[in-house]
Amino acid sequence: MTSLSRISINNDGFFQTTIGDAGISAHQIETLSTRLDPLRQKISQWNNPDAVNFLNLPVTNGLTEIKKLGQEISQQFKQTVVFGIGGSSLGGEMLINTLGSGDHKVLFYDNVDPNTLGTLDKIKWEDTCLLVISKSGNTAETLSQFLTMLPTMNQVLGKEGVQKHTRFITENEEGALYQLGQRLNIPVVPHPSVGGRFSVLSVVGLLPAYLGGVDVDAVVDGAHAMAHRCSQDDINQNPAFYNGAAQYLHAEKGRTLSVHMPYADNLRMLIDWFRQLWAESLGKIDSQGINKGMTPVAAHGVTDQHSQLQLYLEGPDDKQITFFASSGAESQGHTVPMEFQDIPAIEPLVGHTTGELFTAEFQATRTTLSRKGRPNRTVSLHERDAYAIGELIMLFEMETVVVAELMGIDPFDQPAVEESKILTRQYLAEFGKNA
């Protein structure tokens, strides 16, 4: 059990002492330590106070300015609409879904489904701020969202109103979004030089989160504390090194499906954010031309005990599972009354809370998997609060980088998706020819 402030990780289910021959050993992790030396050097550089990177974002993100802008927006408008996709949307939406509160509504549009975008026709733009987010400034979906909505906004607000109601977030001054900002006199907020899927702790994720009532100070504090722990040289003291190495070793055994299974409804979106981080960072071809990667799979306890668990227990041994549990859940919920205890299926439930049932089901699932030799670990949140979520964000980002280092790939690029973008433009042009 490794204690990490407001979270803890029980990774016993990864090891031979718990799951037998299917597990790994502490010695195997130790043997990987020297392979992380290049990463240790990178971390030293990343921790430079002047460096801008995902690990240093808790220090360099300009939180004071983010909150000032958030205050201006929340004072002027009743709600905010966010146009963005992938890393430009998932982080902020995850933080609000997990931690949000307050009266300022934040709506995310991360697709170009015409039916979904049609709901924007009912938006009261007089009360709305629009955030348009694209690191490159050339994201086709995001540009289309804004440009197709611009005539309506012009009609309702006028050109000066559009300027007042809109903010762009982008990095690339050569990109279309920046050029639109110059042409339309719309303020442009700088996007940090950090890839979208690693940008949640910047203005990209923190500004929408602040508007949605998230305690962004606590998120950043938790992430900062975890960044410090994940900068330790000793693999046994560094939670990202240790757990990343363990996951890599199981992947080498063929367990390349990474199932993340939260036992809390408000953590579902955390896994949606993680899926992009894991998939886009690790799905690569290495220098030897070998396809690498681990596929993230989202599950939800206790629901998926009744839809996926059979596969996890007796299907192919190609999975490793991360559970998420909240401390103290067993003491919560209403109690099943005594009235119907004569019915056999109800009798075991009588006198117990739904929280006790919830916890018992999680424990039973974890134990059964271990007895079947299926690798698993449990992340426990001692407090399901902003600080703990900040810790998890940074831990998952660093685990991703560790696994990438061991696989011999670059976690920060995504070369393969460019072909799809090129083909999208080609197919779009064909529609014009056939019109």
Mean pLDDT over 205-230 rounds to 97
pLDDT in tens, 158-171: 999 999 999 999 99
pLDDT of residue 433: 67
pLDDT in tens, 112-154: 999 999 899 899 999 999 999 999 999 999 999 999 999 999 9
pLDDT in tens, 186-201: 999 999 999 999 999 9
Strands ordered across the beta sheet of 188-190: 105-109, 79-83, 128-133, 166-170, 188-190
pLDDT of residue 4: 64
Mean pLDDT over 397-424 rounds to 90
Nearest to 58 by CA among 393, 401, 402: 393
Cβ pair 165, 125 in contact under 8 A: yes
Sign of CA dihedral 150, 156, 161, 164: negative
Q: Does residue 415 have a pLDDT over 90?
A: no
Rounded to an integer, what distance in angstroms lies between the CA atom of residue 371 and that of residue 13? 9
Long-range contact pairs involving 425-430 (C-beta distance under 8 Å, separation at least 24) = 425/140
Please state whether beta strands 319-326 and 257-262 pair in parallel, antiparallel, or not at all (unpaired). Answer: parallel
Please state which architecture CATH assigns to domain 57-215. 3-Layer(aba) Sandwich (3.40)
Length of the chain: 435
pLDDT of residue 424: 83
The residue annotated as part of the active site, out of 171, 280, 356, 399, is: 280
Mean pLDDT over 6-20 rounds to 96
pLDDT of residue 332: 83
Q: Where are the domains of the chain?
A: 2-41+231-407, 57-215
Rounded to an integer, what distance in angstroms lies between the CA atom of residue 120 and that of residue 107? 10
Sign of CA dihedral 72, 76, 79, 83: negative
pLDDT of residue 333: 86
* Token pair for 102: 């307050």
Cβ pair 65, 192 in contact under 8 A: no
pLDDT in tens, 312-344: 999 999 999 999 988 777 778 899 899 999 999
Q: Which CATH superfamily is domain 2-41+231-407 in?
A: Glucose-6-phosphate isomerase like protein; domain 1 (3.40.50.10490)
pLDDT in tens, 35-88: 999 999 999 999 998 899 999 999 999 999 999 999 999 999 999 999 999 999
**Residues 6+ away with beta carbon under 8 Å from 225:** 5, 387, 390, 391
Cβ pair 322, 243 in contact under 8 A: no
Binned at pLDDT 50, 70 and 90, residue 434 comes out as: low
Mean pLDDT over 197-220 rounds to 98
Nearest to 170 by CA among 148, 150, 151, 187: 187
The residue annotated as part of the active site, out of 27, 122, 306, 433, is: 306
**What is the chain's alpha carbon radius of gyration, rounded to the nearest angstrom?**
23
Domains 2-41+231-407 and 57-215 share a fold: yes
Q: Return mean pLDDT, the chain.
A: 94
pLDDT of residue 250: 98
The residue annotated as part of the active site, out of 68, 78, 159, 421, is: 421
Cβ pair 411, 401 in contact under 8 A: yes
pLDDT of residue 3: 55
pLDDT greater at residue 108 or residue 287: 108
CA distances from 121 to 46, 80, 115, 151, 313 (A): 45, 15, 11, 12, 47
pLDDT of residue 427: 85
Cβ pair 165, 130 in contact under 8 A: yes
CA distances from 357 to 262, 351, 353, 369 (A): 16, 11, 7, 18
Please state which of the ranges 119-133, 284-298, 415-429 shows the lowest mean pLDDT: 415-429
Q: Does residue 407 have a pLDDT over 60?
A: yes
Q: Does residue 1 have a pLDDT over 70?
A: no
Active site residue 421: yes
Helix (H, G, I), strand (E, B) or coil at 259: strand
- Percent of the chain past pLDDT 90, that is, above it, reads 83
Residue reference for tokens 């609060």: 385
